[in-house]
Structure 1
Amino acid sequence: METTTIIRSIRHNLPLLIAVAAIVLHTSCSSSTAGNTAPPPQELPVVSITSKPVTVYSEFTASLQGKRDIEIRPQVDGNLEAIYVDEGAYVYKGQPLFKIDARPYTEQLNNANATLLSAKASLANALINVNKLAPLVQNNVISDVQLQSAKAAYDAAKANVEQAKAQVESAKINVGYTTITAPADGYIGTIPFKTGSLVVKSQADALTVLSENKEMHAYFTLSESDFINFKSRFEGATLQEKIKHLPEVELVLADNSTYPEKGKVELAEGQFSKTDGTISFRANFSNPNGLLRSGNTGKIRLPNTVTNSLLVPQEATFELQDKVFVYALTDSNKVVGKPVTVTGTSGNFYLVSGGIKAGDKIVYQGIDRLHDGVIIKPKTMPADSLFKTAAL
């Protein structure tokens, strides 16, 4: 009886059971199918390689010096009576810097003046003798020899006067040397002497060094290979003509900031150094605000415009075994790693001369998730938006 009831119940609910089984089977098949389906390709930005004129820079280490670094030395011996300036002070031409005890030289001047007065008195006496003897000779009272002797004494007295005048001028110069003034506008360097120190003309150390730095010279050197490259890049038959065609150069300071004034290369040394095989150049920079000082260091940036250069964003590259690679996009949207030849940099871009060509497409971002043969969904980026960030 119970078995008959169960069978009747199954027959009554059979359509429902069939529907449930169909749903379960469909769900199971759908899950299995979903598990075997490959994920869609990832969408990554790509950019087309283009050729554009670009300015690249060659950098050379430079040392700075004022237009004139003048050693201030004593011209007379004596004790330093006063020091009127401090180290690092800015001074003007003619401003007193040091005072040497002038008393010995003042006495020398007084003696020279006294000697001059005595010489002038002797000259006057010699002239009186000549004037007294001249009429006596004319009247044949005395011989002409006496007059000639008197004239010789007069000439000697006249020469003594001139010599005494020279001694006076020399003494005045020495007195003037006791006050040492600035020969030009500029900054005072280290002062190794103190008030009361004995200074002499022959001493090894200067009293100080005055740097005239309204204009600054930046000295930098080129190796032989750099020099050959330099000669091939700029117009002119001679080295001086090539220097005239050089564009203005930039100065990068020690903190990597760029000095606001641009400079001009003015001079090249005529020969290579025998010790290190380099040749020296000099660039001149205006220094109106005194920002630059003698002894500063920096880098000279020499610009060069390359008319046609392939530009590759550095962000789109990776390095492997000291080589630079990019992921190039094939026609089937597969990526292939290609090594490129880097010849320089400009801003955030590599300048490339080989490995890819203009018109090739490379992956711009997300390269850390790629390997050869991966298929991507490319999203083309306009190249112009990238070049706005480059120093072109």
Structure 2
Amino acid sequence: MKLLLKKMITHKPLRYLPGILMLAVLLYGCSSPQAGPPQQGPPQLPVMVVTSAPATTYLEFPASLEGKVNVDVRPQVSGYLEKIFVDEGAYVKAGQPLFKIDPKVYAEQLNGASSNQLAAQANVEKAQVEVDRLAPLVASNVVSDVQLKTAKANYEVAKAALAQAKAAVGSARINVGYTLVTAPVSGYIGRIPYKVGALVSNIDAQPLTVLSEVREMYAYFSMSEADFITFKNNFPGKTIEEKLKNAPPVELILADNSSFAQKGKIGAIEGQFNKTTGAISFRATFPNADGVLRTGNTGKVRFAQEVPTAVTIPQEATFEIQDKVLVYTVADSNKVASRPIRIAGKTANLYFVSEGLKAGEKIVLSGTGSLRDGAVITPQLVPADSVLKSKPL
């Protein structure tokens, strides 16, 4: 081919120019070696040697908050709202006036009942006079004793009517008192759905307002059966009551992940498990003198548990498949293998492992998304202290 190219260049080069260019390209292709794709080695990934040490683990359970006392304030009588003495969100003391219902109708009922009482009292006195008049006449055999017995019976009827009249007066007076609605307990006023002039009744589905006593707050939360067994085993005592007394104070984590300043104490456990959810309810009490917490708040109740020896790993080294938490372990041949682990507790960024890992084993810290079982990596050893200490608790 090179000889042919030389002849073409020597004899009439312009005529053979296209052919000369094609032969040159073929000669260059034959003489140049084929360039293959660059060979890549195993991926370099950070690896940590697992260690164990004493640790404090935390168990968290979603909780709903309620005031120690939540009272629906309802009218005892029907009528039009004449006055509203308080505003929503105000703090009131027991006995303080809240609402005024128009008392005119009930005041007139009281006047009528009082008039009936006066009439009944007059009838009693009249019957007494008749008895006093007939008594000496019967003694002198002027009239028969039948008339005296009849007079005495009329006297007893008059006394019974007077008692009924007095009861009617008392009932009417109570109804007049019910037109002024006062606070049954001290606490914060909730929403007031009614306005001045609204017709209210004791059969209304919606109360006038809800009054919450929030100096102490109840946090209600639930535990699964497994968590309940762990709870029982962690605290000394033969009975549940003794275990509750020995349980340490609990912490309340608010909706913004901040910690409430006051610690709480578990005070009660429900008598049985819910058949539908398989959980049992707890109640913790938190002091709330400043009124920071209100009924309807949500949060999490956190338990602290001291673990004598715990295998600690960063949460970012784990991944989840269905309901299992797994890590990639690294063997001596630098091959990785996924392994399920059991979590005994956690902090903000760390997991405490009770099963699945032992001290001295190696795990992949990050980059696990592209790994598969049996893959080979180039481990980049990272000291465990630097990884764990850099994670805020």
TM score, norm. by length of structure 2: 0.74
Which residue does the alignment assign to 1:263?
264
Distance 2:91 2:143 in 1: 73
Alignment of 1:100-249 (within 5 A): 100-249=101-250
Q: Residues 101 and 179 of structure 2 are in contact (CA less than 8 Å); yes or no, is this contact kept in structure 1?
A: yes
Contact 2:66 2:218 in 1 (8 A): yes
Q: Tell me the distance in 2 between the aligned counterparts of 1:335 and 1:298.
A: 44
In the alignment, the residues of structure 1 paired with residue 89 and residue 197 of structure 2 have an alpha-carbon distance, to the nearest angstrom, of 21
**CA displacement at 1:307 relative to structure 2:** 2.3
Q: Secondary structure at the match of 2:248?
A: coil
Distance in structure 2 (CA, Å) of the matches to 1:121 and 1:67: 53
* 3-state secondary structure, aligned to 2:160: helix
Instruction: Work out the CA distance in 2 between the residues paired with 1:171 and 1:55.
Output: 65
Residues 1-392 of structure 1: pairs in structure 2 closer than 5 A:
49-52=51-54, 54-312=55-313, 314=314, 318-319=317-318, 323-324=326-327, 341=341, 343=343, 344-346=345-347, 349-353=350-354, 355-357=357-359
- Secondary structure of 1:183's counterpart equals coil
- Deviation, 1:355, is 3.7
Deviations 1:189-229 (CA, angstroms, capped at 9, x unpaired): 11111111111121111111111111111111112222233
Change (3 A) 1:263 1:374: closer
- Tell me how far 1:91 sits from its aligned partner: 1.3
How much has 1:311 moved relative to structure 2? 4.1
For 2:379 and 2:255, the matched residues in 1 are separated by 46
Deviations 1:282-317 (A, max 9, x none): 1111110111111110001122222232445x39x8
CA displacement at 1:237 relative to structure 2? 3.4
Aligned partner of 2:53: which letter? S
Q: State the aligned residue count.
A: 334
Shift of 1:280: 1.2
CA drift at 1:101 = 0.6
Give the AA of the match of 2:307.
V
| Residue in structure 2 matched with residue 36 of structure 1 by the alignment | none
Offset, 1:154: 1.2
Shift of 1:327: 8.3
Distance of 1:265 and 1:80 partners within structure 2: 43
Please list every run of 5 or more consecutive structure 2 residues that lacks an aligned counterpart in the other structure.
1-45, 369-375
Letter in 1 for 2:149: Q
Aligned to 1:19: none
2:50–2:358 Cα contact (<8 Å) kept: no
Secondary structure (helix, strand or coil) at the match of 1:301 reads strand
Query: Deviation at 1:337?
Result: 8.1
Q: Is the 8 A contact 2:50 2:311 kept in 1?
A: no
The alpha carbon displacement at 1:47 in A equals 9.2
Structure 2: how far apart are the matches of 1:237 and 1:130?
76
Distance 1:348 1:374, change over 3 A: closer
Residue 76 of structure 2 aligns with an amino acid whose one-letter code is Q
Residue 233 of structure 1 and its aligned partner are, at CA, apart by: 2.6
Shift in Å at residue 131 of structure 1?
Answer: 1.4
C-alpha contact 1:339 1:355 (8 A) present in aligned 2: no
* Structure 1 equivalent of residue 12 of structure 2: none
Instruction: Report the CA distance between 1:239 and its aligned residue.
Output: 3.0
Deviation at 1:244, TM superposition (A): 2.7
Query: Is the 2:80–2:200 Cα contact (8 Å) retained in structure 1?
Result: yes
SS at match of 1:191: coil
Counterpart CA distance in 2 for 1:256 and 1:210 is 28
CA shift in 2, pair 1:237/1:137, >3 Å: same
Aligned partners of 1:61, 1:366: CA distance in 2, in Å?
30
Residue 247 of structure 1 and its aligned partner are, at CA, apart by: 1.5
TM-score by length of 1: 0.74
Compared CA separation, residues 286 and 104, structure 1 to 2 (3 A): same
* C-alpha distance in structure 2 between counterparts of 1:135 and 1:266, whole Å: 75
Contact 1:66 1:216 in 2 (8 A): yes
Q: Which amino acid aligns with 2:235?
A: F
What's the CA shift for 1:50? 4.9
Look up the match of 1:25.
none
Which 5+ residue runs of structure 1 have no aligned equivalent?
A: 1-43
For each residue in 1:67-115, what CA deviation from the matched residue of structure 2 results, as whole angstroms up to 9, or x when unmatched?
Answer: 1211111111111111111222211111111111100000001111111
- The residue identity in structure 2 corresponding to 1:164 is A
Identify the residue that residue 4 of structure 1 maps to in structure 2.
none
SS at match of 1:229: helix
Distance in 2 of aligned mates of 1:347 and 1:267? 28
Amino acid aligned to 1:114: S
CA RMSD of aligned residues (A): 3.5
Q: Flag the 1:338–1:387 CA change in 2: closer, same or farther, 3 A.
A: farther
CA 1:195/1:373 → structure 2, altered by over 3 Å: closer, same or farther?
closer
- Deviation string 1:24-65 (CA, Å, 9 cap, x unpaired) is xxxxxxxxxxxxxxxxxxxx9x9994522x321111111111
The 1:92/1:148 distance shift into structure 2, 3 A limit, reads same
CA distance in 2, matches of 1:270, 1:224: 13
Query: Contact 1:235/1:241 (CA < 8 Å) preserved in 2?
Result: yes
